[in-house]
């Protein structure tokens, strides 16, 4: 049976920074570099008869772009992704804070 962990390791060796930062693009004389939050997970296994399998998956959330103009470099966030992450975070933080306050009152 091939070593699944080594095969997966070889396949994702170049995954790191190249997945989070895209290739710079020139648009109307302005250089932009896309930025994303990425993560991936993989797993595999085999039984005693060496019947094995594996799988994996990943997620990429576009955070924004770095824009290079004559004035300098600036980050411009992706508002839709920011709201998609911020709204659930604020809701969970609010629920947790209300429960902490309620527990402290008792």
Asked if the model's pLDDT at residue 62 lies above 80, the reply is yes
For 43-54, what is each residue's pLDDT tens digit?
Answer: 777 777 777 777
Taking the model in full, what pTM does it have? 0.56
Phi and psi (nearest 5°) for 59?
A: -135, 145
The per-residue pLDDT for 65 is 92
Which of 33, 42, 54 has the alpha carbon at shortest distance from 12? 42
Asked if the model's pLDDT at residue 92 lies above 90, the reply is yes
Sequence-distant (6+) residues with CB within 8 A of 52 are: 1, 4, 44, 45, 46
Q: How many angstroms separate the CA atoms of 104 and 41, rounded? A: 39
Strand ranges in the chain using DSSP code E only, listed in sequence order = 25-27, 30-46, 52-69, 72-77
């Amino acid at each position: 049976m091939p070593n699944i962990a080594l095969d997966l390791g070889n396949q994702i060796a170049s995954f790191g920074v190249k997945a989070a930062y895209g290739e710079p693009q020139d648009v109307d004389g302005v250089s932009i570099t896309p930025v994303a939050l990425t993560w991936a997970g993989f797993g595999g296994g085999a039984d005693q008869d060496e019947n094995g399998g594996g799988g994996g998956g990943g997620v990429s959330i576009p955070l924004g772009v770095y824009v290079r103009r004559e004035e300098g470099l600036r980050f411009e966030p992706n508002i839709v992704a920011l709201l998609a992450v911020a709204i659930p975070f604020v809701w969970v933080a609010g629920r947790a804070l209300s429960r902490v306050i309620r527990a402290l009152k008792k």
